[in-house]
Amino acid sequence: MGGRVTGSLLRLTVSSVSTVRRLVVVGGGAAGMSAASAARRVDPTLEIVVLEATGYVAYGLCGIPYYLAGLVERADELVAHPAAYFAERRRLDLRMHAEVTALDPDRGRVSYRQAGRHRTLGYDALVVAAGGVPGAVALSGVPRDRVFTIRTLEDAITLRTLLDAGRVGRALAVGAGYIGLEMAEALAARGCAVTVVERLDRVLTSLDEEVAATVEAHVREHVDLRLSTGLDSAEWGRALDEQPDVVVLATGVRPATTVAAAAGAYTGPAGALLVDDEMRTSLPRIWAAGDCIAPYHRVLGRPAYVPLGPAANRTGRVAGTVAAGGTASFPGVVGTAVVKVFDLEVARTGLTLAEAEAAGIDAVATDVVHRSRAKYYPGSAPLSVRLVHERTGRVLGAQLVGREGAAKRVDVVAAALHARLTVADLGALDLSYAPPFAPVQDPLLMVAQAAARTREAVA
Among the listed ranges 5-13, 71-79, 125-133, 142-150, the one in contact with a second copy (CB under 8 A) is 71-79
The full 3-state SS of the chain, as one line of letters, equals CCCCEECCHHHCEECCCCCCCEEEEECCCHHHHHHHHHHHHHCCCCEEEEECCCCCCCECHHHHHHHHHCCCCCHHHHECCCHHHHHHHCCCEEECCEEEEEEECCCCEEEEEECCEEEEEECCEEEECCCEEECCCCCCCCCHHHEECCCCHHHHHHHHHHHHCCCCCEEEEECCCHHHHHHHHHHHHCCCEEEEECCCCCCCCCCCHHHHHHHHHHHHCCCEEECCCCCCCHHHHHHHHCCCCEEEECCCEEECCHHHHHCCCCECHHHCEECCCCCECCCCCEEECHHHEECEECCCCEECCCCCHHHHHHHHHHHHHHHCCCCCCCCCECCCEEEEECCEEEEEEECCHHHHHHCCCCEEEEEEEEECCCCCCCCCCEEEEEEEEECCCEEEEEEEEECCCCCCHHHHHHHHHHCCCEHHHHHCCCCCCCCCCCCCCCHHHHHHHHHHHHHHHHC
Strands 382-390 and 170-174: unpaired
Which C-beta is closer to a second copy: that of 56 or that of 236? 56
433 touching a second copy, by CB under 8 A? yes
In whole angstroms, the minimum distance from the beta carbon of 67 to a second copy comes to 8
Closest CB to a second copy among 14 and 406? 406
- Nearer Cβ to a second copy (5/387): 387
The region of 87-95, 132-140, 284-292, 326-334 touching a second copy under the rule CB under 8 A is 326-334
Kindly tell me which of 108 and 316 has the beta carbon lying closer to a second copy: 316
Burial of 221 (0-12, 13-18, 19+ CB in 10 A): exposed
Instruction: Label residue 252 exposed, middle or buried (CB < 10 Å: 0-12, 13-18, 19+).
Output: middle
Whole-number minimum distance, CB 304 to a second copy, in Å? 12
- Please answer whether residues 371 and 381 qualify as being in contact, where contact means their C-beta atoms are separated by less than 8 angstroms: yes
Q: Which stretch binds a second copy (CB under 8 A): 14-22, 72-80, 95-103, 230-238?
A: 72-80
- Residue 177 as a binder of a second copy (CB under 8 A): the answer is no
Distance CA 143, CA 318 (A): 42
CB under 8 A: which stretch of 38-46, 121-129, 244-252, 332-340 binds a second copy?
A: 332-340
Nearer to a second copy, 70 or 122 (CB): 70
Quick check: 319 binds a second copy (CB under 8 A)?
no
Over its C-alpha atoms, the chain yields an Rg (Å, rounded) of 23
Please report, as a single letter, which amino acid is at residue 59. Y
Site for a second copy in 357-396 (CB under 8 A): 374-378
Per-residue contact string for residues 274-303; x = within reach of a second copy by CB under 8 A: ------------------------x-----
Contact 338, 407 (CB under 8 A): yes
Residue 60 binds to a second copy (criterion: CB under 8 A): yes
Q: Does 334 bind a second copy (CB under 8 A)?
A: yes
Name the residue among 329, 325, 384, 386 with its Cα closest to residue 21: 325
343 binds a second copy (CB under 8 A): no
Nearer to a second copy, 105 or 332 (CB): 332
Based on the residue annotation, tell me whether 62 is a catalytic residue of this protein.
Answer: yes
Question: Given the complex with a second copy, which of 63 and 244 has the nearer CB atom?
Answer: 63
CB nearer to a second copy: pick between 250 and 337: 337
Q: Which of 29, 405, 423, 454 binds a second copy (CB under 8 A)?
A: 405
CB 61, min distance to a second copy, A = 10
Is 157 near a second copy (CB under 8 A)? no
To a second copy, the closest distance from the beta carbon of 41 in angstroms equals: 11
Q: In whole angstroms, how close is the CB of 46 to a second copy at the nearest point?
A: 21
Spot the catalytic one: 62, 139, 227, 450: 62
Q: Among 29, 244, 316, 332, which residue interacts with a second copy (rule: CB under 8 A)?
A: 332
State the burial class of residue 199 (Cβ atoms within 10 Å of its Cβ: 0-12, 13-18, 19+).
middle
Binding test (CB under 8 A) with a second copy, winner from 4, 392, 437, 453: 437
Out of 92, 225, 286, 339, point to the residue binding a second copy (CB under 8 A).
Answer: 339
**320, 442, 447, 454: which one binds a second copy (CB under 8 A):** 442
Nearest CB to a second copy, comparing residues 219 and 347: 347
Answer for which of 30, 36, 253, 259 binds a second copy (CB under 8 A) is 30
**For a second copy, which residue of 168, 421, 448, 452 counts as binding (CB under 8 A)?**
421
Contacts with a second copy by CB under 8 A lie at 30, 60, 62-63, 66, 71-72, 77-78, 298, 308-311, 313, 331-340, 345, 347, 349, 374-378, 405, 407-412, 414-419, 421, 425-426, 428-438, 440-442, 444-445
| Residues assigned a catalytic role | 62
